[in-house]
């Protein structure tokens, strides 16, 4: 008798789950049929960031499901925490210490930063082009109409987990991101870039996979042959001097001497955008080695300004080409990079030359242990 009741209960649960899945698929399908199109990338970005989507969007239906509502609450709480404890301090500091020293740059070149658009645009807002480079996979935006509620909940939970991870560290760990992106449905940086665009107050006008042709020009392409992602974005509350739109690029490319060479497509792409700002944070001290001398020498020879921590270009090399203002307190590298201590930098900081830095960044997340070096070309 008990076994029969158990079988009936299991059958009811299975039927209930099937009905939920059918209702889900029908609802999303009806929304797509009414609009005649898949969700616009701006709606996807806002959905990822837990923000309302436009009326009539296919995602409007999904946004009312319990998993999506829970995600919106978590995303709002994370955004508030991020703004209050990190981004507002960075924005204020940059406005006081960096912006008065620079003309309006045309491009930010953020090597080794992965998809970390949130810090790039917080320090350097309203720049026409951002070029982000890392080794994380490009990934994809899921087809929500093919996901059941459990799959959606898993995807959104993992997306929030990834965002919470970088909010605590302020940088991506490539090895961990590769492992994370292999699980739970978030398979690369595409959702992260869209999330960051919405989080930082941008609308996404267009989005596409891109590849670089032999001349170094970015052309739209299918995901199967892509080497990068391009977003066309625009600030929701632009200043009078803001560009009409901005281009955000992410490229998965090798920046070692074996990969970054004159004549290669990415070298041509970045050479066609001279000057601007170099941004280096949590760069694994790679440019302290001979294997990454090409990109180090390129940035020093190309950028009008460079903002970096100790893990970027060696400080003694950096100061040969730039007038440098020092911020924070240098106590040396973390244990993982102990071989890259810079005695000259330590001595310089002990002299009392550095200005205050009100936030942690890079590998040193405590305010009292973090540094920034801002260089203006001599």
pLDDT digits (tens, 9 = 90+) for 57-96: 999 989 999 999 999 999 999 999 989 988 999 999 999 9
Find out whether 114 and 233 touch, Cβ atoms under 8 Å.
Answer: no
Rg (CA), the chain: 23
Query: Which residues have a Cβ under 8 Å from the Cβ of 235 and sit 6 or more positions away?
Result: 125, 126, 201, 202, 242, 246
Grade residue 173 by pLDDT with cuts at 50, 70 and 90.
low
What is the Cα–Cα distance from 273 to 185, expressed in whole angstroms? 35
What is the Cα–Cα distance from 114 to 3, expressed in whole angstroms? 55
Enter the pTM of the model: 0.89
Q: Helix or strand or coil: residue 336?
A: helix
Q: Which residues of 196-208 are buried (b: 16+ CB within 10 A; e: fewer)?
A: bbbbbebbbeebb
Pairing of strands 129-134, 322-328: unpaired
Grade residue 165 by pLDDT with cuts at 50, 70 and 90.
confident
Kindly state the tokens that stand for 306.
Answer: 């460079």
Centre a 10 Å sphere on the Cβ of residue 344 and count the other Cβ atoms it contains: 11
Grade residue 8 by pLDDT with cuts at 50, 70 and 90.
very low
Centre a 10 Å sphere on the Cβ of residue 42 and count the other Cβ atoms it contains: 23
Phi/psi of residue 70, each to 5°? -65, -40
Pairing of strands 277-280, 202-212: unpaired
Residues 22-34, mean pLDDT to the nearest whole number? 48
For residue 24, what are the CA distances in angstroms to 18, 68, 96, 207, 313? Answer: 10, 13, 50, 26, 52
Ranges 53-67, 222-236, 294-308: which has the least confidence: 53-67
What single-letter DSSP state applies at residue 170?
A: S
Residues 343-350, mean pLDDT to the nearest whole number? 96
What is the Cα–Cα distance from 190 to 263, expressed in whole angstroms? 28
Phi/psi of residue 313, each to 5°? -80, 135
| Residue scoring higher pLDDT (117 or 363) | 117
Count helices and strands (H / E) in the chain.
13, 10
Q: Helix or strand or coil: residue 116?
A: coil
| Residue scoring higher pLDDT (185 or 232) | 232
What is the Cα–Cα distance from 151 to 142, expressed in whole angstroms? 10
Give CA torsion, residues 302, 305, 310, 314, to 10 deg: 40
Task: Go through the chain and tell me how many residues it has.
Answer: 378
């Amino acid at each position: 008798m008990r076994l029969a009741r158990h079988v009936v209960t299991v059958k009811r649960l299975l039927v209930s789950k099937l009905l939920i899945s059918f209702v889900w698929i029908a609802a999303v399908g009806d929304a797509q049929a009414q609009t005649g199109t898949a969700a616009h990338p701006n709606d996807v970005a806002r959905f990822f960031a837990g923000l309302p989507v436009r009326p009539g969007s296919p995602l409007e239906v999904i946004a009312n499901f319990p998993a999506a509502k829970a995600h919106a609450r978590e995303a709002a709480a994370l955004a508030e925490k991020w703004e209050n404890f990190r981004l507002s301090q960075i924005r204020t500091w940059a406005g006081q210490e960096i912006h008065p020293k620079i003309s309006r740059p045309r491009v930010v070149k953020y090597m080794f930063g992965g998809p970390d658009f949130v810090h790039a645009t917080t320090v350097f807002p309203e720049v026409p082009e951002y070029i982000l480079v890392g080794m994380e996979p490009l990934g994809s935006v899921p087809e929500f109409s093919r996901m059941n509620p459990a799959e959606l909940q898993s995807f959104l939970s993992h997306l929030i987990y990834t965002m919470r991870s970088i909010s605590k560290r302020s940088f991506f760990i490539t090895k961990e991101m590769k492992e994370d992106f292999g699980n739970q449905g978030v398979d690369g940086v595409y959702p992260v870039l869209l999330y960051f665009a919405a989080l930082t107050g941008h609308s996404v006008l267009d989005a596409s996979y891109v590849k670089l042709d032999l001349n170094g020009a970015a052309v739209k392409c299918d995901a199967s042959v892509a080497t990068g992602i391009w977003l066309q974005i625009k600030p929701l509350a632009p200043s009078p001097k803001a560009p009409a739109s901005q281009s955000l690029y992410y490229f998965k490319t090798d920046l070692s001497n074996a990969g970054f060479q004159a004549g290669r497509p990415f070298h041509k792409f970045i050479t066609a955008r001279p000057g601007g700002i170099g941004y280096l944070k949590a760069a694994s001290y790679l440019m302290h080695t001979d294997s990454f001398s090409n990109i180090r020498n390129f940035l020093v020879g190309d950028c009008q300004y460079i903002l970096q921590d100790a893990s970027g270009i060696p400080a003694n090399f950096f100061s040969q080409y730039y007038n440098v203002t020092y911020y924070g307190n240098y106590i040396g590298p973390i244990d993982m990079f102990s071989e890259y201590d810079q005695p000259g930098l330590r001595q310089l900081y002990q002299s009392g030359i550095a200005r205050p830095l009100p936030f942690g960044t890079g590998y040193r997340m405590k305010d009292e242990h973090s540094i920034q070096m801002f260089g203006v070309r001599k």
